[in-house]
Structure 1
Amino acid sequence: MIRQSERSPNTNKRRYRRRTLSAAGLIALGLSALAYQWQGSQWQNSRQGNTPAAGTSFDFYLMAYSLHPAFCENGNARRRECQRLTAADNARRPISIHGLWPENDRSGSYPHDCAGPRLSLSSELRAELDQWMPGTASGLQQHEWRKHGTCSGLDASRYFRLSIDFTRDVNAALGRALLAHTERQVAAAELRTAANAYRAGFGDTLTFHCQNLKGADPVKRGRPYLFEIRQCIDDDGPGGAPATLLSCSSVKRRDQGCGARFWIDGV
């Protein structure tokens, strides 16, 4: 379903194009309110997007989550958030916020850098965001708002509030399984089974993204590690907000770089 950045509710859903979860598979509409890597002094996008015109449109959202031990091991050890990362942090929050991305049906096509206000968050929301998005130590929230949030049609508070809420949910679904496989191999099917035990069909809304890490450890350089999880979400909430979880196969998004089995990094 395509919505304009300046949105009004659209009841003409193209549901035949997507398989959504049942009511038990929703994140409530009443929630409060590709891969990037750090290179030098800015977040660089590995995807090639389209420069948006006025009235930017998109089809759905990808909620991108980081596994911070793997991010830090991947040539980012000097970043502030990586220097601060502890085993206790990882145990409390195995999955952290990368960003909430408006996305088009065609893979690699998405709006970015839309006109919008500068980022401004309340001190309370910023403090909570720091807990779920460790990259705020290096300004990730500014980058994500400027590049993606401004194209969502949401105000900044709602954009980040929803990002936090989705991240809480995916940690509840997968956090324990990830911690149980720290420095061990696991298959995507095992993680999806764990997610489906949390909520029927939840595993189908996720894709797993792996790569060999670029850190000093030669063993890790030769293994695929899970560094990011992405979740497919419809833009069918109030004002075009992300709400209904989508099966990622219905929007032609799939796992990348993981092979039959992959590793989970630890602190």
Structure 2
Amino acid sequence: MLLAVFCSPALAQQRTQYVLAVSWQPAFCETRPDRSECESQTADRFDASNFALHGLWPQPRSRDYCGVDDDLVQLDEDGDWDMLPEPNISAALRDELLVMMPGAASALDRHEWITHGTCYDGNAEAYFGDSLDMLDAINESPVRQLFAASIGQRLTQREVRAAFDSAFGRGAGDRVRLSCVNDGNRRIIDELTIGLTGRPEGPDSFGELIMAARRTDGGCDGGVVDAVGLQ
């Protein structure tokens, strides 16, 4: 006899996997100085000493472009992001996004919504609102404090992961991966990717989402925390 097994929406949501990508913008701009958001970056701007939003990526990545027309997919893949439609979000959220996702100046928000946000369980307001809630959780934690206090110095993978353990619970760092790029004779940290399971319910839920995710390799073994301006 076959038994029908039904999964409740809450359980299905709990099991959904995501990756949150946050950038250390000075390092990003080190290799892309001609980007609009990089030309305008200053030492007193938010993203000089806070993490910036890159994106929130439902997993697996084969879920990209959910219900998106082929012509929009082609525009995105060709890099013509400024020709993509703007995400339908409130003016207040738009203002937050322009600060916390400086890449929106180069239409990163349009790219992230078309590619990944359309596969999120919710509209653009929920997708970007949830993303910024989780970014807030990182920027209000010992992780950001560690990076801000280490500008111009080298951090190891172990130190970064330990900061996540301190902020969000023992083992949280095992869900974090460092990305580094070479800049002349320096290696700089340009991004962190964090595994998550489930949808956030405000910044306070972030630790639970990390601890429910699968462990990952740590990526690069460490690098310099870059300061604003070409080094």
Instruction: Name the TM-score class by shorter chain.
Output: 0.7 to 0.9
Distance in 1 (CA, whole Å) between partners of 2:14 and 2:40 is 45
Tell me how many residue pairs correspond in the alignment: 200
With over 3 angstroms needed to count, the CA separation of the structure-2 counterparts of 1:90 and 1:212, relative to structure 1, is farther
User: Do residues 67 (structure 1) and 24 (structure 2) align?
Assistant: yes
Q: Residue 208 of structure 1 contacts residue 254 of structure 1 at CA under 8 Å; is this kept in 2?
A: no
Query: Which residue matches 1:114?
Result: 66
* Higher-helix-fraction structure: 2
Q: Residue 225 of structure 1 contacts residue 265 of structure 1 at CA under 8 Å; is this kept in 2?
A: yes
Q: Residue 156 of structure 2 contacts residue 223 of structure 2 at CA under 8 Å; is this kept in 1?
A: yes
Q: Pairwise CA RMSD of aligned residues?
A: 2.8
Query: Which residue matches 1:42?
Result: none
Unaligned runs of 5+ in 1: 1-6, 16-58, 214-220
Query: Which residue matches 1:146?
Result: 114
Q: Residue 93 of structure 1 contacts residue 132 of structure 1 at CA under 8 Å; is this kept in 2?
A: no
Alignment equivalent of 1:204, drawn from 164, 174, 186: 174
User: Do residues 123 (structure 1) and 123 (structure 2) align?
Assistant: no
What TM-score do you get using the length of structure 1 for normalisation?
0.67
Distance in 2 (CA, whole Å) between partners of 1:162 and 1:237 is 6
Per-residue CA distance 1:15-54 (angstroms, 9 max, x = gap): 8xxxxxxxxxxxxxxxxxxxxxxxxxxxxxxxxxxxxxxx
User: Do residues 229 (structure 1) and 198 (structure 2) align?
Assistant: no
Alignment equivalent of 1:159, drawn from 122, 127, 132: 127
Per-residue CA distance 1:44-81 (angstroms, 9 max, x = gap): xxxxxxxxxxxxxxx4000000110010001x101110
With over 3 angstroms needed to count, the CA separation of the structure-2 counterparts of 1:237 and 1:228, relative to structure 1, is closer
Aligned pairs for 1:92-107 (under 5 A) are 93-104=49-60
Return the letter of the residue paired with 1:127: D
Distance in 2 (CA, whole Å) between partners of 1:169 and 1:14 is 19
Deviation at 1:157, TM superposition (A): 0.0
Distance in 2 (CA, whole Å) between partners of 1:122 and 1:13 is 25
Deviation at 1:206, TM superposition (A): 1.9
Deviation at 1:160, TM superposition (A): 0.2
Distance in 1 (CA, whole Å) between partners of 2:47 and 2:64 is 33
Distance in 2 (CA, whole Å) between partners of 1:79 and 1:153 is 31
Per-residue CA distance 1:171-201 (angstroms, 9 max, x = gap): 1221111011111111111122223223323
Deviation at 1:227, TM superposition (A): 0.5
Distance in 2 (CA, whole Å) between partners of 1:198 and 1:14 is 22
Partner SS for 2:152: coil
With over 3 angstroms needed to count, the CA separation of the structure-2 counterparts of 1:236 and 1:127, relative to structure 1, is closer
With over 3 angstroms needed to count, the CA separation of the structure-2 counterparts of 1:147 and 1:72, relative to structure 1, is same
Return the letter of the residue paired with 1:254: D
What TM-score do you get using the length of structure 2 for normalisation?
0.76
Distance in 1 (CA, whole Å) between partners of 2:107 and 2:127 is 16
Distance in 2 (CA, whole Å) between partners of 1:8 and 1:136 is 36
Percentage of pairs with the same residue: 30
Distance in 1 (CA, whole Å) between partners of 2:21 and 2:67 is 22
Distance in 1 (CA, whole Å) between partners of 2:47 and 2:10 is 41
Distance in 2 (CA, whole Å) between partners of 1:229 and 1:136 is 19
Distance in 2 (CA, whole Å) between partners of 1:237 and 1:189 is 26
Deviation at 1:246, TM superposition (A): 3.0
User: Do residues 172 (structure 1) and 149 (structure 2) align?
Assistant: no
Partner SS for 1:87: coil
Distance in 2 (CA, whole Å) between partners of 1:184 and 1:90 is 20
Q: Residue 93 of structure 1 contacts residue 171 of structure 1 at CA under 8 Å; is this kept in 2?
A: no
Unaligned runs of 5+ in 2: 1-6, 70-84
With over 3 angstroms needed to count, the CA separation of the structure-2 counterparts of 1:186 and 1:12, relative to structure 1, is closer
